[in-house]
Chains A and B, each alone.
Chain A
Amino acid sequence: GAVVSQHPSRVICKSGTSVKIECRSLDFQATTMFWYRQFPKQSLMLMATSNEGSKATYEQGVEKDKFLINHASLTLSTLTVTSAHPEDSSFYICSARGLAGTSTDTQYFGPGTRLTVL
């Protein structure tokens, strides 16, 4: 149980285009979803946290207009990188947390999306 999927796993796009990444909790309801960015050989950098039906909370230094996050349902969150540039190339990982006090009250991670902006 507690599987999180991410789509696509890999995307290459041209500079200036927008890219949408989907994150789904497959067998549990995710009250909270997290989006991370990871640079090579580095730890996870939390970008934003979102609760279903409400606006995402962005970490300091993360541009909310560039990284649009939507958490429309208890099983789906999307991250849209708008007007992507080469410096946005990175590994993006989502994470989902179930209901507090239940067996899914732990962060479960998706497999990640490798974004390359040319």
Chain B
Amino acid sequence: AQSVAQPEDQVNVAEGNPLTVKCTYSVSGNPYLFWYVQYPNRGLQFLLKYITGDNLVKGSYGFEAEFNKSQTSFHLKKPSALVSDSALYFCAVRDGSGGSYIPTFGRGTSLIVHP
């Protein structure tokens, strides 16, 4: 079984401040982890993924995420938030050890960046 938790429904941050969107996961095999962003009335856009290698993964639009195996977390971060980063963010996990190839998505976190 695999699951994802995004504990915050909403994150508020001031423009220029660092942001963190939290994600924890549970999977029986090797975790393949993903972050997506969704703007209103649009599909999801792929931001970044962790498969193997460096724990710090860099993605699109200046976002990065850190894989922490001991804490089973994959938090999304950005050093300096922009108002245009305001959107809905989804974390997803799937089992990379030959289990289900269908990822499980978190419920989403709404990021609001204030000017």
Whether B1 is near chain A, meaning CB under 8 Å from some CB there, is: no
Which of A32, A42, A43, A110 is the one whose CB lies under 8 Å from B43? Answer: A110
Instruction: Assess A112 versus B43: contact at CB under 8 Å? Given A42-B107, A43-B108, A107-B34.
Output: yes
**0/1 per residue, B22-49, Cβ < 8 Å to A?**
0000000000001010000111111001
Q: Which residues of B contact A43 (CB under 8 A)?
A: 90, 105-108
Whether A44 is near chain B, meaning CB under 8 Å from some CB there, is: yes
Q: Shortest distance in angstroms between B25's beta carbon and chain A's nearest beta carbon? A: 15
Instruction: Assess A111 versus B43: contact at CB under 8 Å? Given A44-B90, A106-B34, A106-B49.
Output: yes
Q: Which residues of A contact B41 (CB under 8 A)?
A: 91, 112, 114
Q: Which residues of B contact A6 (CB under 8 A)?
A: 43
**0/1 per residue, A1-20, Cβ < 8 Å to B?**
01010100000000000000
> In which size bucket is the chain B interface?
10 to 19
Whether A93 is near chain B, meaning CB under 8 Å from some CB there, is: yes
Instruction: Assess A109 versus B46: contact at CB under 8 Å? Given A44-B90, A46-B102, A100-B101.
Output: yes
Could you count the A-B residue pairs with CB atoms below 8 Å apart for me: how many are there? 43
Majority SS at the chain A contact face: strand
A93 touches B44 (CB 8 A): yes
A107 touches B103 (CB 8 A): yes
- Tell me the A24-75 residues at the B interface (CB within 8 Å): 32, 34, 42-44, 46, 49
A109 touches B107 (CB 8 A): no
Q: Shortest distance in angstroms between A85's beta carbon and chain B's nearest beta carbon? A: 22
Give CA–CA (A95, B92) in the complex, Å: 14
Q: Which residues of A contact B108 (CB under 8 A)?
A: 42-43
Q: Which residues of A contact B45 (CB under 8 A)?
A: 109
Q: Which residues of B contact A95 (CB under 8 A)?
A: 44
**0/1 per residue, A85-118, Cβ < 8 Å to B?**
0000001010101001000001111111010000
